[in-house]
Amino acid sequence: MPELIDLHGTAMEEFDRRVRRVRMTDWALPTPCEDWDVHDLVNHLTTEQLWVPSLLGGARVEDVGDRMEGDNLGEEPLVSWEVASREARAAWLAPSALQGTVHLSFGEVPAELYLWQMTFDLAVHAWDLARALGTDDRVDPELAKELLVWARGQEFGPGAMFDAPVEPGDGAGDQDRLLALTGRRP
């Protein structure tokens, strides 16, 4: 079984690969996330990455305040993503990053749980971005398998983050089963 930090690196690469394919004319394309276009989706993931160094450093959501709200992509979306993802990855790779507790909007959680959530979000949204761009939407099979194992132990249901789970269909592979947990129909 691969280490969680390695799975995160793979998920980061999956999303990064798709961001690098976004052309100037693609930013307004719709995504499988009903209320988001490509710009909104990439901004969401960029913003998530911007939070990581602060949260792993012990900051609380209220300490950060509204500094991360709004458009964090600016005039150079790819550069904004690159900087945010590089800084987030560096924070995760720090020797004690997974030892502590992080203060999220819904309470305190072990840093390891936060990393699972971030890895999951990167992988699922890599699929969303690929679908929006009409490119290869397959994610790394080992990543999909390990995330599915983890996700089956989590509570998924309709809410702010995902739609209600759907049936993946007979013969569905790990990736399709994983996506079905979030209400996506591959």
List pLDDT tens digits, range 83-126: 999 999 999 999 999 999 999 988 899 999 999 999 999 999 99
- The answer to whether position 44 is within a domain reads yes
pLDDT score recorded for residue 106: 84
Mean pLDDT score of the chain, rounded to an integer?
A: 93
- The answer to whether position 52 is within a domain reads yes
- The answer to whether position 110 is within a domain reads yes
- The answer to whether position 161 is within a domain reads no
Share of the chain above pLDDT 90, in %: 79
Q: What is the mean pLDDT of residues 153-175?
A: 79
Could you tell me the pTM of the whole model?
A: 0.94
For the purposes of burial, counting CB atoms within 10 Å of the CB of 118, is it exposed (0-12), middle (13-18) or buried (19 or more)?
buried
Residue 110, helix vs strand vs coil: strand
Number of domains in the chain: 1
Q: How far apart are CA 123 and CA 14, in angstroms?
A: 7
Instruction: Residue 84: give the domain boundaries.
Output: 4-140
Residue 66, helix vs strand vs coil: coil
pLDDT bracket for residue 169 (50, 70, 90): confident
pLDDT score recorded for residue 159: 54
- The answer to whether position 164 is within a domain reads no
- The answer to whether position 157 is within a domain reads no
- The answer to whether position 177 is within a domain reads no
Q: How far apart are CA 38 and CA 73, in angstroms?
A: 12
- The answer to whether position 57 is within a domain reads yes
pLDDT bracket for residue 156 (50, 70, 90): low
- Name the residue among 107, 146, 133, 132 with its Cα closest to residue 10: 146
pLDDT of 158 strictly over 60: no
pLDDT score recorded for residue 1: 66
pLDDT bracket for residue 68 (50, 70, 90): confident
Please report, for the domain that includes residue 9, its CATH number: 1.20.120.450
Q: What is the mean pLDDT of residues 32-46?
A: 96
Q: How far apart are CA 111 and CA 10, in angstroms?
A: 18
